[in-house]
Amino acid sequence: MMDTVLNLGLNDETVIGLATTSGDERFAWDSYRRFIQMYSDVVLELDHGAFEEALEVAKEDQGYSLDTEMTADDWKALVAEYKALVKKLWDKPFPQDVHDQLWGAISAVFGSWQSERAKVYRRLNNIPGEWGTAVNVQAMVFGNMGETSATGVAFTRDPSTGENVYYGEFLINAQGEDVVAGIRTPQYLTLAARERAGAKPLSMEEAMPDTYAELAKVFQILETHYRDMQDIEFTVQQGKLWMLQTRSGKRTAKAALKMAVDMAHEGLITEEEAVARVDPAALDQLLHPTLDPKAPRDVLTKGLPASPGAASGHIVFDADTAERRNEMGDAVILVRVETSPEDIHGMHAAKGILTARGGMTSHAAVVARGMGRPCVSGAGGISIDTKANILRIGGRELKEGDILTLDGSTGEVMAGEVPTVQPELAGDFGVLMVWADKVRRLKVRANAETPQDCKVAREFGAEGVGLCRTEHMFFDAARITAVREMILADSEKGRRIALERLLPEQRDDFAQIFMVMAGLPVTIRLLDPPLHEFLPHAEAEFEEVAKAAGISVDVLKRRASELHEFNPMLGHRGCRLGVTYPEIYEMQARAIFEAALIVKQRGGEAPIPEVMIPLVATRKELELMKAIVDRVAAEVFAEQGDSVEYLVGTMIELPRAALKAGEIAEVGEFFSFGTNDLTQTTIGISRDDAGRFLGTYVDKGIFARDPFVSIDVEGVGELIQLATERGRKTRPGIKLGICGEHGGDPASIAFCEETGLDYVSASPYRVPIARLAAAQAALASKA
């Protein structure tokens, strides 16, 4: 994401000195044209495309297809053309003073910290803007000094699969930028990789056997020293190997998992270090589907499998369009000749990336792997007309908006959409989870309200349900009519008749969930949203509902108007519904306890229902609602001659509830922090409307991160800590957890560990992420 300038210090005089010293005029002028091109782009911010076009025209004029065919005289002519371009575009001659060049380049690198692409990258990777950057000034070694020189990028293990094999690419007679920017499609590092790909150009192992052997020894030294997979850049100058840089390499989730487990088995790192090595958020990549091997495929071409996974989407040709269409809810595939750091926002918005040029270590490949996006690079069989927005493959044409499918694991590019299959999680995943569970203190539950969600959650290791939202069941097409009849009834008797019809359905809902979660706690939140949400909004719906309910459209509209609220989020909802219409909560409580006894009597392990009263602000509200639940429980147990253990507690989602937690704990047997609403009510921001300005708030440093993604520790976090202290003071054994979206966010989970909560609850597919994050939080607290 940061800028680089190579070959600095060349000018009309020093280029002659370099030619004399090296004895190679072609190399010196090639380096000078590279410098002018790069300096003009990075420092002077001139149009990069104009220089590329001049190079392509120069090659065409001579009938060349490769840069390496250009002679010293060709390069001299191009340098003159480049200097004229600078004069035309910049209105000043290209700087000849080497000190001016140096300070220009240093300023540009410092400046690139504030570039849009760097800001986006920081936001995606949670890197604070105030860290700033350093600038390295280092001596050049040249990979473009003929056939005994080369440049390359290598990884000490395969960053896509995690296999313990060397992985990388190199180019003879080239400079590093040629490999990274994807300007030329490079050659393979090892003979095995070349043979596997069926490629013709010799690998480095074959073309430069002695240098390759030396490089392999360096790989071993560096990986053993840093105890991690290394991403290395190297140059060979006239047969001599130079190491330019090394760093821990970006890798896919699959590779991170395999490397961590393998390195622990090899004794390079400990089991606990292996747990700490895998980014919990990256596990998300493993939980996604792959292409169905049985599905028919219309394969158009094959490129390099640069980043694994599969994706289908509408073709787009630029990053801005990708971002815009993604915001509209479209799945898109970003198709580019080659990507540059400026495309990062579009790459993040896209479901997959396809490039015509570039290798397995190009910008597109490395960034896509880090983001978990499938990527096919170097698909030579495609041509892209960016002006007409057309993709040509063989004799076929695809335009913007057409559907394309990529398989980043095989490099296949397919027309249309190909069905997918769900992943199977075993092997290394299972091993790492066992290690994580050994060190984890926090329990992990799931937010789930269907048997299928509960099944997925349990398979992923959930230790119960932390939030079952009952209103989702009310929206079911088969029962929405009874719900509406209950709302439209003008007396308690009418409401009870409608609720009586809902009872068997609700009981069956809970019984199915309890069957899947037998023996585990299940927190069921009683009805929370305002009643008007269940009524129709469109004219056609009004007529349909009025007919079904046997009332006139006018009566229905009047009732909808009576229930209308100006601020429903703070309106007649949550426990306020239970206070006004206790019969609703009575029916739900009866359904819960009857379902629990059905499961117990079928011989399964008895479930442990935790009845959660939403939106409580005062002790009295909870006291009234708990009395209803306890009374109904006693009635059901007496009728059935059997009982189950249960708890009654509340969701802490209002600042007043957090402040009065000591009093509320006199009645409530557990607290679950509803961090979505607690964030809204504490900061005074509507989650549904905040998207318009929260990004700006994060960019300006008002919030370090979006507070709906990661807990606002200073504000909302302090309320949670306060409620925890006060609740435990009153009731030392009170059970505490969080059930908002934050339950699957690693940074928020670390906060929950620090605060001493008992569990977090996340959506089913984020349960493994939460398990791993909880283990890492436990390790961090011991450190």
Q: Give catalytic status of residue 739 as yes or no.
A: yes
Which 3 state secondary structure label does DSSP give 390? strand
> For the chain, percent helix, then strand, then coil, each to nearest 5?
50, 15, 35
CA 753 to chain centre: 23
Give the number of other Cβ atoms within 10 Å of residue 543's Cβ.
13
Whether the Cβ atoms of residue 110 and residue 137 lie closer than 8 Å to each other:
no
Residue 123 is encoded by which pair of tokens? 């936001």
Query: By the 8 A CB rule, do 672 and 626 touch?
Result: no
CB-based contact 311:405 (threshold 8 Å): yes
Nearest to 250 by CA among 158, 369, 357, 360: 369
Check 314, 345, 363, 742 and give the catalytic one.
Answer: 363
- Give the C-alpha distances (Å, rounded to integers) separating 346 from 87, 325, 351: 33, 10, 10
d(CA 739, CA 653): 10
Q: What is the distance between the alpha carbons of residues 563 and 535, in angstroms, rounded to a whole number?
A: 9
- CA–CA dist 719, 707 (Å, integer): 14
**Residue of 375, 454, 739, 752 marked active site:** 739
What span, in angstroms and rounded, lies between the C-alpha atoms of 255 and 289? 17
What's the sign of the alpha-carbon dihedral 516, 518, 519, 523?
positive
HEC profile for 415-468? ECCCCEECCCCCCHHHHHHHHHHHHCCCEEEEECCCHHHHHHHHHCCCCCEEEE
Spatial distance between the Cα atoms of 213 and 211, rounded to a whole number of angstroms: 5
The three-point CA angle 496-500-504 to 5° equals 155
258 CA to centre of own chain: 20
Q: Produce one character per residue of 9-25: b if its CB has 16 or more CB atoms within 10 Å, e if not.
A: ebbeeebeebbeebebb
Four-CA torsion 633, 638, 644, 649, nearest 10 degrees:
20
CB 354 within 8 A of CB 301: no
Query: In the 8-state DSSP scheme, what is residue 95?
Result: P
Task: Show the beta-strand stretches assigned E in 157-253.
Answer: 167-172, 187-188, 230-237, 240-248
**CA angle 243–245–248, rounded 5-degree value:** 125
User: Distance between CA atoms of 708 and 211, rounded to whole angstroms?
Assistant: 52
Q: Is 628 exposed, middle or buried (0-12, 13-18, 19+ CB in 10 A)?
A: buried
d(CA 373, CA 346): 12
**Measured at the alpha carbon of residue 28, what is the angle toward residues 27 and 34, in degrees to the nearest 5?**
90
CA dist 402 and 316 (Å) reads 9
Would residue 564 show up in a list of annotated catalytic residues for this protein? no
CA dist 735 and 758 (Å) reads 6
608 alpha-carbon distance from chain centroid: 34
Cβ neighbours for 494, distance < 8 A, ≥ 6 positions apart: 485, 486
CB 110 within 8 A of CB 102: no
What is d(CA 446, CA 339) in angstroms, rounded to the nearest whole number?
39
The catalytic residues are 363, 739
